[in-house]
Amino acid sequence: MVKRKSCIFISGSGTNLKALIKSSKNYNFPIDISFVITNNKNANGLQFAKLHKIPFKTFNLNNYREKEKALNQLRKKKIKLICLAGYMKILPKDFIQKFNGKIINIHPSLLPKFKGLNTFEKVLIKKEKKTGCTVHFVTDKLDDGKIILKKFFYIDKEDNIQSLKKKTQKLEYNAFSEAIIKVMK
C-alpha cells in the first residue's frame, strides 16, 4: 500500500497525535505522518514527534511570513492531508483554500452542537443526554465543514467536565483513525 504523506497540527498534550502515530504503524493505514506543526513551542505533544523521529516546526500561521514558510514546508514534503489534532488556533482563510478538502479536524462535541471552545461546560449546562466527538472537513467557518463521522456516549449523572473530557478523548483516538481511512479510500 502506498501511504500518503500527512501533517498533524497540535497545540498541547498530543494524545491524538500519539494515537495517530500508533495507527500509522499499521501496514494498512493509509497515511504516513511526515511532519508535525505546532503553534506552541512548548507543546507536550512534541515529545511523540521526537520519540518517533518525525520532523516538526513551530509556526504562527497568522503571521504572513511564517505562514508562507509553513506552506513551503508542506509543499516540499508533498503533504496530501492535514489533520488538526487539538490544534487550538483558527487557520487563515487563504491557508484553508490552498488545502481545500485536504484538512480535517476532530472536535469534542456532536457537531453542529457546541462549536468552538468550552464544549464540555456547554454540554453540562444544556443537560445533554449524550455527547462525543466529530471528525469533519475544515472550511473557513468554525467547526462547520462536512461531517466525516461522529462517535457518542451517554452521559452519567456523575459526569463532570473532567470525566466528559476523558471519555471523549477515548472516543477520539479511534474516531480520528477511522475518519482518515474513510477519507483516504
The angle that helices 15-24 and 161-183 make with each other, rounded to 10 degrees, is 30
Q: Would you call 22 exposed, middle or buried from its count of C-beta atoms within 10 A (0-12, 13-18, 19+)?
A: middle
Sign of the CA dihedral with 106 first, then 109, 110, and 115 last? negative
Which of 48, 35, 40, 167 shows the shortest CA–CA distance to 109? 167
Catalytic residue among 80, 107, 136, 151: 107
CA 31, 37, 40, 44 dihedral sign is positive
Q: Is 52 a catalytic residue?
A: no
Q: Active-site positions?
A: 107
